[in-house]
Amino acid sequence: FLVKESGKNKREVACFIKAPVTVLENLKCKILNDTSSLVVEDSEELVSNVISIECYDYEKILFPINIAIPFTSCFRGSYREIMVKVTDVNFQSNYLTPISLEGYQGNHKESFAEVKIYHLGVFSVLSCLKKETFTVPKVGLSQKLSMDSRINFYYHPEAFSSPATIQLKIQPIEPSLVSALKARHDMYHSVLSTSALVHVHHPSAQPFNSSVTITLPCPPNLEKKRKGDEREHARAVSATLKRVAAAYQPCSIKCIHPAHEAMHKTFWWEKKRQKLTSSILSLSKINGGFTTSCKENIQSEFTISLFVVIRLLFLLENTYLLLFAQALEEALCSTMTNVILYQKRENPYKIVVLLSASKELTYELQNLHEEGYFGPPEPTQQFPLKEGEQIHFRFRGNIFASENGKDFGKVYRLIFHSQRKPRLDLQIKEVDEFGNHSSPYYKGTAVFYKITREMITRKWEQPLPYGEYQHHSALCKLALTLPKHEKSINRPRSTKRISSNALDALWDNLLFWLAEELAEDNASLFALRLPVRQSVLQLVKLKCPDNLTHQIYELLCCWKKTLPRSADKQQLLSRYLRKSGRSDLSEELRLKCQSVHLT
């Protein structure tokens, strides 16, 4: 099915469907990428278009039908897998395991997730955490996880009164993530490293009768510090924790000086209530990993819990460990992101706006430079975004934008997906051509707002709002400019001016020669001491960012345009050259002007 995405002229392959001809003729397919926020959840990553498959007459559809959806997955690893998510009109979803991930569909070479479906709906290909399911019999079970054989769950005999089904997911934690949290919050300084985050789904109707022994790896401390530094940090963290404790609940904080061996704390907490249910005290080191035994009192309270081992420099109260766990869970679902707004160098009326993960910012900027896009403005400061969260933006001031060159002044949307590249190519123009009259260019501002998934209405039609965002504070702002273009004035025949093209050409050649001479000494634009506005200097740098000769030439041309026709340009220019310490060029300029009778 070749279809157009809404608002775009380009046709692309939405999917391949294998079915009888009579069935294919009765199907219609659409790309619904504007609704992608509604099909992803935490820890899921969208890697394809969101497509809707409907029919004209349901009675003529014969199931099952095979569909293959193209996708692009940049990175998966052993902890993730590709799944196809099917969502109905009521936003009820289920997951299908692809029967193949072939690279060819006919003449098309690509990655395709092929599934067999028994009903129609909205389809998307996701990169999800691998789910491992096993059944614990009454006699007990020792289960090593296929995704990481170092992790083992041992259920003792009679752990459950009847066979119980357990579901597990493993979410690895990068050491850089822990370091970032510690850098932002002093009270987490005691944390040295963590194990992977384990998502455990136990049956709520079946209570634990005996303990469960869990073995999992926890990396060593990668930040070896001097003992003196550790004592200073311990005192600073102690003071910080006492202040934080007063804000949350009264409790006493004890900071223990580090011993030769780091301490470890292991605990479960409830996902929905964010409540620490019990701590685990029994912890022994085995072959670089840790084994812990626990008997949770969660028989009927909840079914989904999270489990992690935290290596500590000194003991912390459970309150602060829970705060750290909550911050860790939030950070795992977020990506630090920047907004980029660049203009085309050859045509500043064309701009590109995109979201880039901060760790890929340098790579994205290099690609934009190769396409001919440059700043200013520079990219925004980084901020966290979750999968499916949206950035809405609009233009204010004397500049507005359009996607198609016709509809100006709209609100625009970028939906963040870590494995896709949210990008908009827009055209900008001035609102009022007589505005910003004291400046050589038009000025405007792009204002960006963050829209979380909870703020998005659960409807398959997702129109953009046209009203003001009175109840939203701006996430960030980027200023942009447009150079003013010379207006052609149609004058009556009797008042037409006499052209002086030959004289202007001589001056242009003379100014370009002067620019080349000054550029050889790497002269600064400020060194010329020409009486021009600061905005003119900025405009010149924007117009010719990489060529000093052209910058000086443009500056001299802008200065010449400000002079009355009767002004002695050679005498004025010679004076500025002498003030700049270039008396030699001043004299040479005088001789050149005399030779061609220029003033």
Judgement on whether residues 317 and 338 belong to the same structural domain of the protein: no
Q: Where are the alpha helices (DSSP H) in 5-50?
A: 21-24
For residue 595, pLDDT over 90 is answered with no
Residue 253 has pLDDT above 70, yes or no: no
Q: Is the pLDDT of residue 75 over 70?
A: no
Q: What is the secondary structure of 449-484 as a DSSP string?
A: EEE-GGGS---S--PPP-S--TT---SEEEEEEEEP
pLDDT of residue 563: 80
**Where is average pLDDT lowest: 5-14, 420-429, 447-456, 568-577?**
5-14
Dihedral sign for Cα atoms in the order 94, 100, 102, 105:
negative
Token readout for 392 is 């809405």
59 and 172, same domain (yes or no)? no
Query: Same domain, yes or no, for 164 and 311?
Result: yes
Q: How many CB atoms lie within 10 A of CB 136?
A: 22
Say if CB 467 and CB 409 are below 8 A apart.
Answer: no
Q: Which long-range contacts (CB under 8 A, 24 or more apart) does 526-529 make?
A: 527/580, 528/552, 528/555, 528/576, 528/580, 529/576, 529/579, 529/580
Residues 89 and 10 in one domain: yes
Q: Which residue has the higher pLDDT, 299 or 551?
A: 551
> Which CATH number does the domain housing residue 464 bear?
2.60.40.2660
Distance CA(599)–CA(594), nearest Å, equals 8
Nearest to 290 by CA among 277, 281, 300: 281
Q: What is the mean pLDDT of residues 313-329?
A: 83
More confident residue, 388 or 518: 388
Residue 9, classified by CB atoms within 10 Å of its CB into exposed (0-12), middle (13-18) or buried (19+), is exposed
Question: Which CATH number is 244's domain given?
Answer: 2.60.220.30
Q: Is residue 6 part of a domain?
A: yes
Q: Mind listing the pLDDT tens digit for each residue in 279-310?
A: 433 343 434 444 444 444 333 333 557 778 88
Residue 192 located in a structural domain: yes
Do 368 and 290 have their domain in common? Answer: no
pLDDT at residue 506 is higher than 90: no
Model pLDDT, residue 9: 56
Model confidence at 152, in pLDDT bands (50, 70, 90)?
confident
pTM of the entire predicted model: 0.70
Give dist(CA 2, CA 204) in Å, integer: 47
pLDDT band at 490 (very low <50, low <70, confident <90, very high): low
| pLDDT computed for residue 507 by the predictor | 78
What is the pLDDT confidence band of residue 542, given thresholds at 50, 70 and 90? confident
Range among 172-186, 200-214, 257-271 with highest mean pLDDT value: 172-186
The band of 515, judged by pLDDT with boundaries at 50, 70 and 90, is confident
pLDDT tens across 166-203, in order?
889 999 998 889 988 888 888 888 888 888 888 888 77
The single residue listed with the structure tokens 């489990």 is 307
From the CB of residue 171, how many other CB atoms can be counted at a distance below 10 Å? 19
Q: Are residues 102 and 199 in the same domain?
A: no
Q: Please check whether residue 491 lies inside any domain of the structure.
A: no
Is residue 58 a part of any domain in this protein?
A: yes
Per-residue pLDDT at 557 exceeds 80 = yes
Question: DSSP readout, 542-557?
Answer: HHSTT-HHHHHHHHHH
Instruction: Please say whether the dihedral angle defined by the alpha carbons of residues 30, 31, 32 and 34, taken in this order, is positive or negative.
Output: negative
Q: Is residue 488 part of a domain?
A: no
Judge whether residue 523 has pLDDT over 70: no
- Could you tell me what percentage of the chain is helix, strand and coil, using 3-state DSSP and rounding each to the nearest 5? 25, 35, 40
- If asked whether residues 99 and 235 sit together in one domain, one would say no
pLDDT value for 536: 80
Share of the chain above pLDDT 90, in %: 27
| 489 occurs within a structural domain | no
Domain boundary residue, one of 452, 483, 514: 483
For position 535, which CATH number holds? 1.10.533.10
Tally the domains of the chain.
4
Same domain, 281 and 339: no
Residues 339, 472, single domain; the answer is yes
Rounded-to-integer distance, Cα 195 and Cα 325, Å = 12
345 and 424 fall within a common domain: yes
Checking if the pLDDT of 37 tops 90, the result is yes
Within a domain: residue 490?
A: no
Q: Of 332, 358, 393, at which residue does a domain stop?
A: 332
Give residue 10's pLDDT band: very low, low, confident or very high (50, 70, 90): low
Rounded mean pLDDT of the chain?
78
Whether 561 and 592 share a structural domain: yes
Structural domain including 238 reads 131-332
140 pLDDT more than 80: yes
Q: Is the pLDDT at 330 greater than 80, yes or no?
A: yes
pLDDT for 526 equals 56
pLDDT number for residue 256:
27
What are the structure tokens assigned to 226, written together?
A: 């001097």
Last residue of a domain, one of 448, 483, 518: 483
CB-CB contact of 266 with 292 (8 Å): yes
Contact 393, 405 (CB under 8 A): no
Give yes or no: residues 43 and 136 share one domain. no
**Please, which pLDDT band fits residue 468 given cuts at 50, 70 and 90?**
low
Asked if residue 379 lies in contact with residue 340, where contact means CB atoms within 8 angstroms, the answer is yes
Residue 440 clears pLDDT 60, i.e. is over it: yes
Query: Average of pLDDT values for 417-445?
Result: 89
Q: Is the pLDDT of residue 255 over 50?
A: no
- Check which CATH number belongs to the domain holding 119 and give it: 2.60.220
Average pLDDT score over residue span 373-387: 92
Write out the E strands in 151-209.
152-155, 164-171, 191-194, 197-201
Output Rg (C-alpha) for the chain, integer angstroms: 33
Q: Determine, yes or no, domain membership for 493.
A: no
